[in-house]
Structure 1
Amino acid sequence: MLSERQLNIFSLLVHLYTETGVPVGSNTLMNGGIKASSATIRNDLVKLEELELIQKVHSSSGRVPSAEGYRFYIDHLMKPSHVSLNEIDRIRQSFNRKYSATNEIIEVSAKILSDLTNYTAFSLGPEVKERKLTSFKIIPLNSHQLIAVIVTDKGYVKSQVFTVPEEVSSSDIEKMINIINDRLIGKSLLTVYHQLRTEIPLILQRYFTNSSHMLLLFEDVFHQVFDEQIYVSGGMNLLNSDIFSDISEFKSVYSLFTDTERLSKLIVPSEAGVEIRIGNEMNNKLLSNLSLITASYDVSEHGNGVIALLGPTSMSYSKVTGLVNVFKNELSEHLESHYRSLGNSNSSS
C-alpha cells in the first residue's frame, strides 16, 4: 500500500521522465513540488523500487519507470491531458482539403496523427461489410499489364496494376468485364465475396477453356477489396529514440507494417474507447520496448474504424491519450460529413 506522498512522488516521476527523457532524482522531485526532505524522498524511491514500479539507471543516480510502473500509472493515476483549442484547430485545418475518395481521408488521418505526435500512426477505416460494388473499369497499360479500378457506394476507390497471363486474350478480358457488370455490380461486397467462391467459378467454366487462369485473375483483381487497408505513416519515427540496439531490430519491426493480417490483429482494440498496451503485453518480442495506443471510433451507419500510435514506452501517456481522444472524434465527424456530402450528390444526380 502506497502512501499519498509516495503516489505523488511516483506520479511526478513518471510525468517528468516522459516529458524530458532524463532519469529523475530526489532533488528534481523536490524542485517539482514534493513537500519532503531529500532523505525522505530517497527512502520513498527505495520503496517504489522494491515494488518494481521504478528502476535505477546504472549511469545515473536517477530513476525511471519500469514497464510495471507504467501499467500502474495508466490504470490508477493517469488522466488524459487537456487539448488546447489551438491544437484542435490545427487538427481541423489539417483535414480541411478536398478528397476524391473516402479512403483518402483515412490515409491522410494517419499522416496527420503521426505529424502531431512524431510516433508511428495507423489508421483503419470503417468496416466494409455493407459496401456495394458500384463501378468496375479496366484500363490497359500495355500488352501484358492492366489497371483495375473498383469503386464502392461509400466513396472508396481501389486501383491495382496486375499482369495478364499469356493464356488470357483481350477478348477474355472483355468477357470478364461483362461478367462483372452483369453479375456483381450493385451487390454488397459480402455477396461479391461469396459469388466469387460459388457462382463465378461455374460461369467461368462455361465461358472459358482456360477457366483456372481466369479465376486466378478474378481473385487478383478483387483481393485488395476484401483486405482491410491499414494506412501507416511515420514508420521511420521509431528511429528517433534509443529503442533498438541495432538496425536489424528496426527492420524487423518495420516489416510488420506491411503484413496486413498481423497488423490488423495488433491494432484492433479488444474494447471500445482508448486502449494502451505496453511492451510484452503485445505478445511480440519485437515490440518489447514499445507501447501501442489504440482507439476505436464510430461513424454513424457506416461502422467502426481504428486509429493507433506506436512509440517508446517512455511516451507521455496523458498527453497522447488526450490527443487521441480528440483526434478520433474529429476524424469521425469529418467522415460523417463526407458521407453526407456523398449522399447529397447522389440524390441530386
Structure 2
Amino acid sequence: MLTERQKLILSLIIQDFTNTGQPVGSKRLMEEGVKASSATIRNDMKALEELGLLEKTHSSSGRIPSISGYRYYVDHLLTPAKVSNQEVDQIRSSLKKDIHEIDDIIQQSAKMLSQVTSYTAFSLGPEMKDRTLTGFRIVPLNDRQILAIIVTDKGNVESQVFRIPENVASQDLEKMVQIINDRLVGQPLVSVYQKLRTEIPMILHRYFQTTEGISHLFDVILNDAFEDKVFVSGRMNILNFNPEQDLNQVKSMYSLMQNSDELTQLLLPSDNNIHVRIGAELGNDLFDHLSMIQANYEIRGHGRGTIALLGPTSMPYSKVFGLLEVFRYELTNALNDYYRSLDLYH
C-alpha cells in the first residue's frame, strides 16, 4: 500500500519523465511541490524502486518509471487531462470534411488521431455482421480487368479492380453478375457468406463448364464485403518510439500493421470502456516497449467499433486518455449523424 506522498512522487516522476525523457531526482521533485526533505524523498523513491514501480538508471541518481509503475499509475492515479475547446472544434470539423461514405469517417479518424499525437493510430468501424448486400455490379476496364462494386445497406461501398482469370469469358462475367443479383442481393451478409460456401458452388457447376476461375473470382470479390477494415495512420511513427529497436523488428512491426486479420484480432472491441495495454499485455513480443490505448464505441443498431493509439510506454497517459475520450464521443456523433442521414434518404 503506497502512502499519499509515494503516490504523488510516482505521479510526478511519470509526468516529468514523459515530458522530458530524463531521470527524475529528489531536487526536481521538491521543485515540483513535494513537501519533504531531500533525504525523505530519496527514501520514498527507494521504497518505490523496491516495489518494482521505479527503476534506477546508471547515468544519474534519478529514477524512471518501470512497466509496473506505468500500470499502477494508469490503474490508480491517472486523471484524464481536459482537452481544449480549440482541439475539440478541430476534431469535430475533421470528422465532417469530405465524407461520402462510412469508410471516409473511419479513415479520417485514424488520420486525425495520428496527426494530433505523432503516434500510430488505428480505426476499426462498426461490425459488419448485420449488414445486407444491396447492390453488385461489374464495370469492364479493359480485356482482362474489371471494377467490382459492392454496396451494403449501411452505406458501405466497396470497389476494387480485379484481373480476370484466363479461362473466364465476358459472358461468364455477365452470368456471374446475374447470379449474384438473383440469389444474393437483399440477403444479410451472414447469409451471403454461408451461401458462398454451400449453394453458390452448386449453381456455378450448373452454369459453367469449368468453375475454377469463376469460383475463385466470386470468392475474392465478395470476401471484400466481409473484411473488417482496419485503417492505420502514422505507420512510420514507430521508428521514433524506441531508438534501440533493430531493423528486423521495425520490418516485422510494419508488416503486422499491413495484416488486416492480425490487426482485427489485436483491436477487437470487447466493451465500451477505454483500455490501456502496456508492453507484454499486448500479447506480442514486438510490442514489449510500447503501449496501446484503445477506446471502443457503440452505434445503436450498427455495432461496435474502436479507435486506438500505439506509442512508447512513456506516452503522456493522462493527455492521451483525455483526447481519446473526446475523440470517441465526437466519432460516435459523426457516425450517428451519417446513419441518420441515410435513413432519411431511404
Q: TM-score, normalised by structure 2?
A: 0.97
1:20 CA drift (Å): 2.1
- 1:272 Cα deviation from its structure 2 partner: 2.7
Determine if the alignment matches structure 1 residue 338 to structure 2 residue 345.
Answer: no
Contact 2:96 2:334 in 1 (8 A): no
Q: Shift of the alpha carbon at 1:183?
A: 1.0
1:45 corresponds to which letter in structure 2? M
Tell me how far 1:243 sits from its aligned partner: 4.7
Partner of 1:99: 99
Q: Aligned partners of 1:102 and 1:4: how far apart in 2?
A: 47
1:137 aligns with 2:118: no
Q: CA RMSD for the aligned pairs? A: 1.2
Partner of 2:85: 85
After superposing the two structures, state which structure 1 stretch, 274-283 or 59-68, moved more: 59-68
Tell me how far 1:130 sits from its aligned partner. Answer: 1.5
Matched, 1:165 2:159: no
Aligned AA (1:85): N
Q: Secondary structure at the match of 1:186?
A: coil
Structure 1 Cα separation of the partners of residues 8 and 93 of structure 2: 38
1:244–1:132 Cα change, 3 Å: farther
Amino acid at match of 2:168: V
- CA apart distance, 1:197: 1.0
SS of 2:48's partner is helix
Alignment of 1:78-227 (within 5 A): 78-227=78-227
Gaps of 5+ in 2: none
Q: CA deviation at 1:324?
A: 0.5
Contact 1:132–1:189 (CA under 8 A) maintained in structure 2 = yes
Q: Does the aligned pair in 2 maintain the 1:290–1:313 contact within 8 Å?
A: yes
Query: Which has the higher mean CA deviation after the structures are superposed, 55-64 or 107-116?
Result: 55-64
Shift of 1:244: 4.2
User: Does the 8 Å CA contact 2:275/2:295 hold for their aligned counterparts?
Assistant: yes
Counterpart of 2:27 in structure 1 is 27
What is the identity, as a one-letter code, of the residue corresponding to 2:181? Answer: N
CA distance in 2, matches of 1:130, 1:103: 16
Per the TM alignment, residue 26 of structure 1 is displaced from its structure 2 partner at its CA by: 0.9
Partners of 1:244 and 1:210 lie apart in 2 by 55
**Partners of 1:253 and 1:286 within 8 A in 2:** yes
- Say whether the 8 Å CA contact 1:168–1:214 is kept in structure 2: yes
1:213 Cα shift?
2.2
| Residue 247 of structure 1, CA deviation | 2.2
Higher mean C-alpha displacement, 175-184 vs 263-272: 263-272
Summarize deviations over 1:123-149 as a string: whole Å, max 9, x none.
000111111111112122221111111
Residue matched to 1:51: 51
List per-residue Cα deviations over 1:24-77 (Å, max 9, x = no partner).
Answer: 111111110101111111111111111110101222322110001111111111
DSSP-derived class of the 1:34 partner: coil
Is the contact made by 2:98 and 2:104 (CA closer than 8 Å) also made in structure 1? no
Q: Is the Cα contact below 8 Å between 2:48 and 2:54 reproduced in 1?
A: yes
CA distance in 2, matches of 1:183, 1:158: 19
Q: Who is 1:273 aligned against?
A: 273
**Separation in structure 2 between the aligned mates of residue 107 and residue 285 of structure 1, nearest angstrom:** 27
CA contact (8 A) 1:243 1:312 kept: no
Counterpart of 2:211, as a letter, is S
Deviation at 1:158, TM superposition (A): 0.7
CA distance in 1, matches of 2:176, 2:270: 41
Which aligned pairs between 1:273-312 and structure 2 lie closer than 5 A? 273-312=273-312
CA–CA distance in structure 2, aligned partners of residues 241 and 62 of structure 1: 22
How far apart are the structure 1 equivalents of 2:168 and 2:301? 41
Change (3 A) 1:200 1:72: same
What is the rounded CA distance, in whole Å, between the counterparts of 1:323 and 1:231 in structure 2? 19
Q: Distance in 2 between matches of 1:161 and 1:222?
A: 13
**What corresponds to 2:4 in structure 1?**
4
2: distance between equivalents of 1:184 and 1:55? 60
1:316 aligns with 2:323: no
Q: How far off is 1:198 after superposition?
A: 1.2
Is residue 268–residue 294 contact of structure 1 (8 Å, CA) maintained in 2? no
Aligned residues: 346
CA contact (8 A) 1:103 1:125 kept: yes
Identify which range, 228-237 or 129-138, moves more after superposition: 129-138
Report the residue type matching 2:284 in the other structure.
N
Q: Cα 1:166–1:189, aligned 2, differ >3 Å: closer, same or farther? A: same
What CA distance in whole angstroms lies between the structure 2 residues aligned with 1:268 and 1:185? 28
Which whole-Å CA distance do the structure 1 matches of 2:241 and 2:281 have between them? 20
What runs of 5+ residues in structure 1 fail to find an aligned partner?
A: none
Q: Could you tell me the TM-score, scaled by structure 1's length?
A: 0.96
